[in-house]
Structure 1
Amino acid sequence: MATEVYLVRHGETMFNQLDKVQGWCDSPLTIKGIDDLKSTAQALSQVHFDNMYSSDLKRAIDTVHLMKDANQVSEIGKIKKLPEFREVFFGSFEGDDIATTWEQVSEATGIGPEDDVTKIINQVGIYEFREATKKADPRHLAENKRELDERMERAVSVLGELTKNEQRVLIVSHGDFIKTLAIKYWNQSDGLHDIVFPNNGSVTRGILHDNGRFEIVDYNVNAEDM
């Protein structure tokens, strides 16, 4: 049985608002973030889910509970938290200023100082960008392409085991992780260049097939378009 997967990006957080790098580090949802999520929750309130899951980071957990509480047609028990669906890990850059971080990563690619992440990725490609992030990280802890690719595949595998008897599920994850899933599993991505970053509270829909194959079929859909 194939499983329809609704991937929701968490709401806006304090670090999003302050333009700080936010991967495995966490910060609380803002008032705007909560208000925006209410629109997403309302748009999904009549969609039946067999289960809901979440990344194990608090901003995602808070988001999934908003989805759960607003849903009128699903009976969801305890939320299972999945660390495999955490945000991309940025190592020593966690909590730093975003523009300064991208300048350092850009220098590591050899293209010189550039603080626009989209321009960097479109010049060197997403894979080289991941390698440069690890290279620029003083402790070399940031996830590179291989590490992130292995985690994405593990995430899909874990979800496949959990949802064998579930037709439709919702899982709250994170912007860069969802975007990287789309680069890998969405047929409208060429797998090399950047694609638009998903909005806070947006929904990306995937299909997890019986044979374990995963594909993205809708990307970055906002509440008003559902």
Structure 2
Amino acid sequence: MATEVYLVRHGETMFNQLNKVQGWCDSPLTVKGIDDLKRTATALAQVHFDNMYSSDLKRAIDTVHLMKDANQVSTIGKIRKLPEFREVFFGSFEGDDIDQTWDQIAQTAGIGHETNVQKIINRVGLREFRAATKKADPRHLAEDMPELDKRMVKAIATLQEITKNEKRVLLVSHGDFIKTLAIKYWNQSDGQHDIIFPDNGSVTRGILHSNGKFEIVDYNQKAIDL
């Protein structure tokens, strides 16, 4: 049995608003973030879900409970938290200024000063961007592509195991992780180049097939489009 997966990006957080690097570190949802999520929750209120899941980070947990409370046609019990669906880990850069971080990574990648992450990735490719992030990290803890790819495969395998009797589920995750999933599993991505970063509160829809294959079929859908 195939399982339809609604991947929701958490709402805007304080670190999003303050332009800080936010991977495994956490910060609370903003008022704007909550308001945006309420629009997504309203748009999904009449969609039946067999279950709801989230990353184990608080901004995702708060988001999934907002989705759960607004849904009028689903009976959801305790929310299971899945650490495999955490955001990408940025190591020592967690909580730092985003522009300064990207500039440091750009220099490590050998392209000079650049604070626009999209331009950096367009120049060197996503794999080299991740490698440069790990290299620039003084403790070399940031996830590179091999580590991230391994975690994505584990995440999909875990999801397949726990949803084998479920037709439709909602799962709250994070922008960079959802984007990286889409690069790997969306047929409109060539797997080499960057794609648009998903909006806070957006919905990306995937299909998890019984043979373990996962594919993204809709990406970064806003509440108005649902």
TM-score by shorter chain over 0.5: yes
Deviation at 1:193, TM superposition (A): 1.1
Deviations 1:120-163 (A, max 9, x none): 00111101100000000000000000000000000000000000
Deviation at 1:83, TM superposition (A): 0.2
Deviations 1:183-217 (A, max 9, x none): 00001111111110000000000000000000000
Aligned twin of 2:193:
193
Q: Which amino acid aligns with 1:63?
A: T
Q: How does 1:139-154 map to 2 (within 5 A)?
A: 139-154=139-154
Instruction: Could you tell me which runs of 5 or more consecutive residues in structure 1 were left unpaired when the two chains were aligned.
Output: none
2:53 partner SS = strand
Deviations 1:157-188 (A, max 9, x none): 00000000000000000000000000000011
Aligned twin of 1:5:
5
> 1:29 and 2:33 equivalent?
no
> 1:91 and 2:91 equivalent?
yes
Deviation at 1:23, TM superposition (A): 0.1
Question: Distance between the aligned counterparts of 2:190 and 2:120, measured in 1?
Answer: 17
Aligned twin of 1:38:
38
1:206 partner SS = strand
Q: Which amino acid aligns with 1:19?
A: N
Question: Distance between the aligned counterparts of 2:138 and 2:106, measured in 1?
Answer: 14
Aligned twin of 1:170:
170
Deviation at 1:74, TM superposition (A): 0.2
Query: Identity over the aligned pairs, expressed in percent?
Result: 80
Q: Which amino acid aligns with 1:62?
A: D
Q: Which amino acid aligns with 1:120?
A: I
Q: How does 1:1-226 map to 2 (within 5 A)?
A: 1-226=1-226
Question: Distance between the aligned counterparts of 2:136 and 2:2, measured in 1?
Answer: 41
Question: Distance between the aligned counterparts of 2:215 and 2:141, measured in 1?
Answer: 29
Q: Which amino acid aligns with 1:142?
A: A
Report the TM-score when normalising by structure 2.
1.00
Q: Which amino acid aligns with 1:123?
A: R
Report the TM-score when normalising by structure 1.
1.00
Q: Which amino acid aligns with 1:122?
A: N
Q: Which amino acid aligns with 1:184?
A: K
Question: Distance between the aligned counterparts of 2:180 and 2:144, measured in 1?
Answer: 12
Question: Distance between the aligned counterparts of 1:192 and 1:209, measured in 2?
Answer: 24
Question: Distance between the aligned counterparts of 1:122 and 1:37, measured in 2?
Answer: 31
1:75 partner SS = coil
1:218 partner SS = strand
Question: Distance between the aligned counterparts of 1:3 and 1:148, measured in 2?
Answer: 23
When structure 1 is superposed on structure 2, of 55-64 and 186-195 the one drifting more is: 186-195
| Runs of 4 or more consecutive aligned structure 1 residues displaced over 6 Å after TM superposition | none
Aligned length: 226
